[in-house]
């Protein structure tokens, strides 16, 4: 998968370099601590504290690990493993809490397509983080909270890109919503392994009941800042539902609660669906697949969306 093909400009970031943290005085240290707490719920948590909170270590165990750590010159996690007080899975989960990334434990059966969870340090995960950075530099989030993921045809990777981008944004510690708006062949319920029948289609028809709102959208222990709003039952009239005017009103409410909203869409062979969704979102990211997507189809889709007033922020080449 490549980077965004559209050059994006934005304000230069201000970076503070701390040459020697030990020279900080009490005031500076306090200020840095307050700064780190903003928007980073995982900051300032010690590994031992996390393992203690999750019932993996007792207080006496922590003292034992600390002594062994000092004697052997090890990291805390390595010391705990050598003492056989925890399993490797316990350490990986604690690190995911400490550094704010998603780590899928054995009890959760997400699709292997969700590489941001299954391989958070791999090549593909880093590419998604790079795409995330470019989108943030373009103003996604503060200026435009909603992004639709579009492509000309089927099997080009829209759902794969949408799911992993949503996880990547949630790893910033900011509320993120993924919506499956492909009302023809939805995929997000397969990727995240949930079976709820109530979803976007139910909401668009106005048949939602108060009790159905409980638990919507779906949430997952591994992604504490991510919510997924599935398609629900596949309707017989997707174009009419998406073009009814309800979706823009719904999104207008959702932006009050989420910093980022990613929308999965059907292929652009269903042009009416895609234009309705992308217009409601306001912006779109194009996805192409190597050796499959045709450049003429990509250009046509881009032109169609631009004429509809959609900001096409760039495109991604899916090589996986």
Q: For the whole model, what pTM was predicted?
A: 0.74
Same domain, 139 and 92: no
Is there a cis peptide before residue 10, judged by omega within 30 degrees of 0? no
Q: Residue with structure tokens 């995929």?
A: 187
Same domain, 82 and 194: no
> In the prediction, which pLDDT does 272 show?
96
Residue 125 lies in a domain: yes
Same domain, 139 and 281: yes
Same domain, 58 and 147: no
> In the prediction, which pLDDT does 104 show?
64
> In the prediction, which pLDDT does 184 show?
96
Residue 66, SS3? Answer: helix
- Of the candidates 151, 173, 137, the one whose C-alpha atom is nearest the C-alpha of residue 8 is 137
The two structure tokens encoding residue 146 = 């909603």
User: Which residue(s) pair with 218 in the sheet?
Assistant: 228
Rounded to 10°, the helix 271-281/295-307 angle is 50
DSSP 103-119: ---TT----TT-HHHHS
Residue 284, SS3? Answer: strand
- The CATH number assigned to the domain holding 305 equals 3.40.50.300
Residue 38 lies in a domain: no
Sheet containing 311-318: give its strands across: 218-220, 223-229, 176-180, 260-264, 146-150, 283-289, 311-318
> In the prediction, which pLDDT does 118 show?
79
Residue 1 lies in a domain: no
DSSP 204-259: HHT---GGGGTT-SEEETTEEEEEEE---SPPS-HHHHHTSSHHHHHHHHHTTT-S
Same domain, 259 and 287: yes
Same domain, 298 and 190: yes
Residue 221 lies in a domain: yes
- Of the candidates 313, 295, 263, the one whose C-alpha atom is nearest the C-alpha of residue 152 is 295
Residue 192 lies in a domain: yes
The two structure tokens encoding residue 145 = 């909270």
CA-CA distance, 265 to 55, in Å (whole number)? 41
> In the prediction, which pLDDT does 33 show?
40
Same domain, 176 and 263: yes
> In the prediction, which pLDDT does 112 show?
86
Same domain, 95 and 152: no
The two structure tokens encoding residue 30 = 């306090």
> In the prediction, which pLDDT does 163 show?
97
Q: What is the DSSP letter of 317?
A: E
pLDDT in tens, the chain (320 residues): 654 554 333 333 333 322 333 333 333 434 444 433 344 444 456 888 888 888 898 989 989 999 998 998 888 889 899 999 998 878 877 877 777 666 665 545 788 899 988 788 789 999 999 999 999 999 998 889 999 999 999 999 999 999 999 999 998 889 999 999 999 999 999 999 888 778 899 889 877 655 565 666 777 777 888 999 999 899 999 999 999 999 999 999 899 999 999 999 999 999 999 999 999 999 999 999 999 999 999 999 999 999 999 999 999 999 87
Q: What share of the chain is helix, strand, coil (3-state, %, to 5)?
A: 45, 15, 45
Same domain, 235 and 155: yes
Residue 228 lies in a domain: yes
Q: Looking at the 3D structure of the chain, how many domains does it have?
A: 2
CA-CA distance, 145 to 38, in Å (whole number)? 20
- Helix (H) or strand (E) run with residue 54 in it: none
Same domain, 180 and 253: yes
CA-CA distance, 239 to 192, in Å (whole number)? 25
Query: In terms of residue numbers, what domain contains 77?
Result: 45-99
Residue 308 lies in a domain: yes
Residue 217 lies in a domain: yes
Cβ pair 313, 284 in contact under 8 A: yes
Same domain, 192 and 244: yes
Q: How many helices (H) does the chain have, and how many strands (E)?
A: 14, 7
Same domain, 94 and 124: no
> In the prediction, which pLDDT does 5 show?
53
């Amino acid at each position: 998968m490549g980077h965004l093909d559209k050059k994006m400009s934005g304000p230069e970031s201000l970076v503070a370099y701390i040459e020697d943290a030990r020279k900080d005085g009490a005031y500076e240290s306090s200020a840095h601590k307050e700064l780190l707490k903003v928007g980073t719920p995982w900051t300032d948590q010690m590994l031992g504290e996390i393992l203690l909170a999750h019932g993996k270590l007792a207080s006496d165990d922590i003292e034992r690990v600390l002594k062994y750590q000092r004697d052997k010159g090890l990291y805390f996690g390595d010391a705990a493993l050598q003492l056989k007080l925890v399993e490797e899975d316990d350490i990986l989960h604690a690190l995911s809490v400490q550094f704010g990334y998603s780590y899928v434990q054995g009890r959760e059966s997400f699709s292997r397509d969700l590489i941001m969870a299954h391989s958070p340090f791999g090549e593909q995960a880093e590419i998604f983080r790079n795409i995330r950075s470019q989108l943030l530099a373009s103003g996604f989030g503060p200026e435009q909270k909603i992004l639709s993921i579009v492509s000309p045809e089927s099997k080009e990777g829209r759902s794969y890109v949408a799911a992993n981008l949503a996880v990547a944004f949630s790893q910033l510690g900011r509320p993120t919503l993924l919506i499956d708006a492909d009302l023809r062949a939805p995929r997000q319920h397969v990727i995240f392994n949930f079976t709820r029948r109530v979803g976007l289609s139910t909401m668009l028809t106005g048949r939602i009941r108060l009790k159905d709102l409980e638990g919507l959208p779906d949430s997952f222990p591994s992604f504490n800042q991510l919510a997924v709003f599935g398609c629900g039952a596949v309707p017989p009239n997707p174009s009419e539902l998406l073009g009814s005017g309800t979706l823009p009103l719904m999104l207008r409410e959702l932006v009050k609660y989420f910093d980022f909203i990613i929308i999965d869409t059907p292929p652009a062979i269903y042009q009416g669906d895609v234009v309705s969704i992308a217009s409601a979102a306001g912006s779109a990211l194009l996805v192409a697949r190597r050796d499959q997507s045709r450049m003429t189809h990509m250009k046509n889709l881009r032109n169609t969306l631009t004429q509809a007033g959609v900001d096409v922020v760039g495109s991604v080449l899916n090589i996986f």
